[in-house]
Amino acid sequence: MEGKIATIKEWLGTGSINIFGLPMSGKDTQGIKLAEALGAKFLSSGMIIRAMEKETKKNYTSNGALLPSNLFYEWVLPYFERRDLFKYPLVLSSIGRWYGEEAQVISVAAGAGHEIKAAVILNISEADVENRFKEAQVINDRGERADDKDLTIFKNRLNEFRTKTLPVIKYYQSLGLLVEVNGDQSREAVFNDLVDKLYAKALQSRV
């Protein structure tokens, strides 16, 4: 594992890895763990947006809808150019979820020295994430987020992913950047699969 991580770090440099997946697919869990392993900084669009909604006292996403693109560009994209992140690689959790945003994300990231080297999709079915949602209600492990407590809102988020984010993933695939990981495993197995796939991607870059 250490050798694979070292190879990924060398390939990544100060670049970015953008992780996508359905709600409750484990994007933040795996992203944080990967960032720690790589000595990278972790950026989650969801965390940034929720913080900005709280700061501005505006509420755009509590019903499960994605943030309008104009606000996404204003609130989220400036993070790529932060000086405190300049020397670090970045692990991103779904930065640019709405089809049409991905080209701007790629451009801004590259311009800031954080070229997107891979886009990861954690593959898991809607039925399985709905089961995770229901299990989370029983053990209450998702905090106070309203969008993780209301099934109707959760299903709205699934629909947003299906209609707006899947085309983003296909775009990354067309660029040869997509890395597919089986998200329907234990957290440890998903992480191992993620590292293996990124290691293979890093080796391909040497050819």
Average pLDDT over residues 60-68: 91
Virtual torsion, Cα 144, 141, 16, 9, nearest 10 deg:
150
Instruction: For 94-134, write each residue's pLDDT tens digit.
Output: 999 999 999 999 999 999 999 999 999 999 998 888 888 88
Measure the CA–CA gap between 33 and 2, rounded to whole angstroms: 14
Nearest to 18 by CA among 39, 35, 37, 1: 35
Strands across the sheet containing 41-44: 41-44, 90-93, 16-21, 116-123, 178-182
Average pLDDT over residues 14-36: 96
Average pLDDT over residues 56-81: 93
Q: Which pLDDT band holds residue 89 (cuts at 50, 70, 90)? A: very high
pLDDT for the residue 186: 93
Q: Which pLDDT band holds residue 141 (cuts at 50, 70, 90)? A: low
Measure the CA–CA gap between 7 and 104, rounded to whole angstroms: 28
Q: Is the pLDDT of residue 182 over 60?
A: yes
CATH number at residue 15: 3.40.50.300
pLDDT for the residue 137: 73
For residues 140 and 130, the answer to whether their CB atoms sit within 8 Å is no
Q: Is the pLDDT of residue 190 over 60?
A: yes
What's the token pair of residue 200?
Answer: 């293979």
**172-to-14, 150, 165, 186 alpha-carbon distances in Å:** 19, 31, 11, 26
The number of domains in the chain is 1
Average pLDDT over residues 24-50: 95
Q: Is the pLDDT of residue 147 over 60?
A: no
Give percent of the chain with pLDDT exceeding 70: 94
What SS3 state is found at 179? Answer: strand
> What values do phi and psi take at 59, rounded to 5?
-130, 105
pLDDT for the residue 142: 52
pLDDT for the residue 116: 98
Beta bridge partners of 20: 121
Range of the domain at 75: 2-204
Instruction: For 67-78, write each residue's pLDDT tens digit.
Output: 999 999 999 999
Nearest to 164 by CA among 80, 73, 90, 94: 94
Q: Is the pLDDT of residue 7 over 80?
A: yes
The conformation of residue 142, written as its DSSP 8-state character, comes to: S
- What type of residue is 70? N
pLDDT for the residue 144: 52
HSE-CB for 137 with a 13 A CA cutoff: 12
Q: Is the pLDDT of residue 166 over 90?
A: yes
What's the whole-model pTM score? 0.92
